[in-house]
Amino acid sequence: MAPKPITSPVPDTCYPTLAVSMLAIGLLFTAYFFVYEATSSRRNRSLAKELTTGAVASFFLGFGSLFLLLASGVYV
Amino acid sequence: MGFWWRFNLLVFTIAILSTPVLSDLILSKVDRRIDLTSQIVRITSTLKVENAGSGLVSEVLLAFPELQAKNLVYLMATTNEGKGKTKSSGVSLPVEVANPKGMPPALTVYSVSLPKALGEGDTMSLDVLAVFTHTLKPFPEKITQADIQLVLFQDSAYYLSPYAVKFQSLSIKLPDARIESYTKIENTKIHGSEIKYGPYENLPPFSYSPLVVHFEINQPFAVAQELVREIEVSHWGNVQVTEHCNIVHEGAKSEGEFSRLEYQARPHIRGSSAIRHFVAKLPPRAHSIYYRDEIGNISTSHLWADSKKTELLIEPRYPMFGGWRTAFIIGYSLPLQDFLFESEGKRFLNISFASPINDLVIDNLVVKVVLPEGSRDLSVSTPFPVKQRQESKISHLDVVGRPVIVLEKADVVPEHNQYFQIHYSFNKLSMLREPFMLISGFFFLFVACIVYVHVDLSISKSSASYLAKLQWDEVRATIQQVESIINQCLATHEKIEASLRDLSRIGDVQACKTTRKTADGLLKEHSKELKPLLAFLQSSPAAANILPKVEELVAKERELQERWMAKHSIIVDCYEKKLGGREIENRVAPQQQKVVALRQEVEDLLEYIDEI
């Protein structure tokens, strides 16, 4: 079996686009999270909703910032 | 097993005893070419080996005087198998240091193992390439800026060998410049920049005739005392190479003062021995190239790139004269798919060993290969022996550190610029470590916010302001509930409106009535839910300010409800009596106006309460 070259799982030309879009989605979720924290009163706040919003926001922010690092040449 | 071992031992002993000291072989023809055009001395010898004895011979000895041997950095013997048309390109043969008995102690001997033993009368042709560094001695040792650089080279005019040599010749290639002097013995000729010695015939073993050439050379004598190459592999699509060079000009030392003016005016006369620039041949598709030192970026560099190579020309901050030194860093990125491969479930990196800078002698080369975190079972295969060790390095987004393989080799010349491989195994899921680090970082931030919002941080739990705040929180929660109930009521009203619209379109009175019934039920439930909330608000002193507005809201909503119901009854009634459209409109008109006005008021109140 001839050696097979290994490439990145995501083509590196996509990094800037991915970084911008995922960071945008992540920031929207973050904004929603903080608006919810600030407006809902202590009694009718639901922990599950807070945690899911936070998890979704951190997923998008995490991958977005990874692609931002890769796009700017910091290969982690 | 035991038998074979004993048998092999026997054969081995016989072989040793029956090797009659070196005299069976003779060299029927030796052709030597010495290349002195750069600081690296390359001696290529073509030997025609003939077995004149009766026994089988499987190794050929090469002898070097000790003075030369300590500068010998690369020795390769190749043989051209086959003859005529089937002549294949060289097959390199194993070479190792040998210390046979009966050799003069001032000689270092290497033995070349032949691919197949030579029988009686057999001949074989052998190409030997020997590379030496630090062999050209500057003479005079110190020169001024305007002087040219002269060096001395010493060797033997006869091929120094433990075997008798029948026929030999030597040619020395010098740079196209002045030749100060050279040793003249019989059969010495000079053609331009090439000196020829020989042919000499039938010389006994260990013939030696000293030979000295004194000539001008203005090639750079760039020697890197230490060069550290760091190769960092990222599976996200990049191989980053960083080379820390510490270079000194090891030609004739510069003395006297340096005049930049003279150098600038006539650089080839007043500075012919200086190093002006280095050329580095980088692999194709190299990108993100930088050239800097401790101060910062060095702007004097030029780059040419095509599909086969990337050529980088870098000028140091100053021309380098003898004894001067400089330190700089060059770095570049390479695409991953050109250097990293997968075969049989393991990954391997295939990259060149030495520095890409042309004609550079490296006294001590350190190659560090940084593999991604999570790489296991590392193994190295190099074409020549190197010292190796392992360490780890903490870099971006690492937890335990990345495995680093450190390869060290002294005395490296461009001939060592061969590919080496590092094999390792890697689980693809380990690539998700870095994003997971980032995600968990952000998630902790959110969790911290949630905790901050949920935890009661007040110190005094009995102070008036704290209690007021608690009450106010409760009032706010209640008001929010009231608001949501009112919103549900408004939604029910919409349903009634929709059913009326359907009635005017289709004329189905029965469906309209059932809608009315469900709406009545819903509204009743809502008003039941509202009662305890209102009672709480009335009892709470904190809600005193907002209570009138809330009560007004509830009252208006109830009125709106009644109007809707009235409107609904009138319209249904009219339909049952089969009155005309105009008649219906006349009857409904006063209710309709009220409905619109009340709805507006309810919405305004909701907004007002929301803002509190």
Q: At B411, is the pLDDT very low, low, confident or very high (cuts 50, 70, 90)?
A: very high
Question: pLDDT at position B269, please?
Answer: 83
pLDDT tens digits for B26-80?
A: 899 999 999 999 999 999 999 999 888 888 888 889 999 888 899 999 999 998 7
Question: pLDDT at position B93, please?
Answer: 85
Residue with tokens 């994003």: B435
Q: Is residue A13 over pLDDT 70? A: yes
Cβ contact B100:B152 at 8 Å: no
State chain B's mean pLDDT as an integer: 87
- Which of A2, A45, A55 comes nearest B443 by C-beta? A55
Sequence-ordered list of residues with C-beta below 8 angstroms from that of B352, at least 6 positions apart, any chain = B283, B417, B418, B419, B420
Strands B107-118 and B72-79: unpaired
Measured in angstroms, the CA of B331 and the nearest CA of chain A are apart by 13
Note the ipTM here. 0.96
| A76 to B396: CB separation less than 8 angstroms, yes or no | yes
Sequence-ordered list of residues with C-beta below 8 angstroms from that of B327, at least 6 positions apart, any chain = B244, B245, B246, B247, B293, B294
Question: pLDDT at position B13, please?
Answer: 38
Mean pLDDT on A17-44: 91
A12 contact residues in B (CB cutoff 8 A)? 236-238
Cβ contact B282:B314 at 8 Å: no
Question: pLDDT at position B590, please?
Answer: 81
Q: Is residue B536 over pLDDT 80? A: yes
pLDDT tens digits for B212-246?
A: 999 999 888 999 999 999 999 999 999 999 999 99
Question: pLDDT at position B357, please?
Answer: 93
Question: pLDDT at position B14, please?
Answer: 38
Cβ contact B585:B504 at 8 Å: no
| B236 to A42: CB separation less than 8 angstroms, yes or no | no
pLDDT tens digits for B174-204?
A: 998 889 999 998 889 998 899 999 799 999 9
A61 contact residues in B (CB cutoff 8 A)? 438-439, 442
Question: pLDDT at position B82, please?
Answer: 52
Interface residue A20 vs chain B (CB under 8 A) = no
Question: pLDDT at position B271, please?
Answer: 84
Question: pLDDT at position B8, please?
Answer: 45
Question: pLDDT at position B89, please?
Answer: 57
| A5 to B238: CB separation less than 8 angstroms, yes or no | no
| B439 to A63: CB separation less than 8 angstroms, yes or no | yes
Mean pLDDT on B325-334: 95
- Which of A4, A61, A74 comes nearest B396 by C-beta? A74
Interface residue A16 vs chain B (CB under 8 A) = no
Minimum mean pLDDT among A64-68, B483-487, B511-515: which range? Answer: B511-515
**Closest chain A residue by Cα to residue B394:** A76
**pLDDT higher for B419 or B568?**
B419
Interface residue A41 vs chain B (CB under 8 A) = yes
pLDDT tens digits for B564-590?
A: 888 888 888 888 887 777 777 888 888
pLDDT tens digits for B453-492?
A: 888 877 888 888 888 888 888 888 888 888 889 889 889 8
Q: At B81, is the pLDDT very low, low, confident or very high (cuts 50, 70, 90)?
A: low
Question: At CA B290, angle to CA B321 and CA B282, rounded to 5?
Answer: 80
Q: Is residue B550 over pLDDT 80? A: yes
Cβ contact B263:B274 at 8 Å: yes
Interface residue A8 vs chain B (CB under 8 A) = yes
Q: Is residue B12 over pLDDT 60? A: no
Residue among B133, B43, B66 at smallest CA distance from B413: B133
**Token output for B285:** 């598709």
Q: Is residue B23 over pLDDT 70? A: no
Mean pLDDT on B110-122: 86
Determine the Cα–Cα distance for residues B219 and B19; give it in Å rounded to an integer.
46
A73 contact residues in B (CB cutoff 8 A)? 288, 333
B427 contact residues in A (CB cutoff 8 A)? none
Measured in angstroms, the CA of A64 and the nearest CA of chain B are apart by 9
Element (H, E) at B215: strand B210-216
Measured in angstroms, the CA of A7 and the nearest CA of chain B are apart by 5
- State the SS3 of B285-338: CCEEEEEECCCCECCCEEEEECCCCEEEEECCCCCECCCCEEEEEEEEEEEHHH
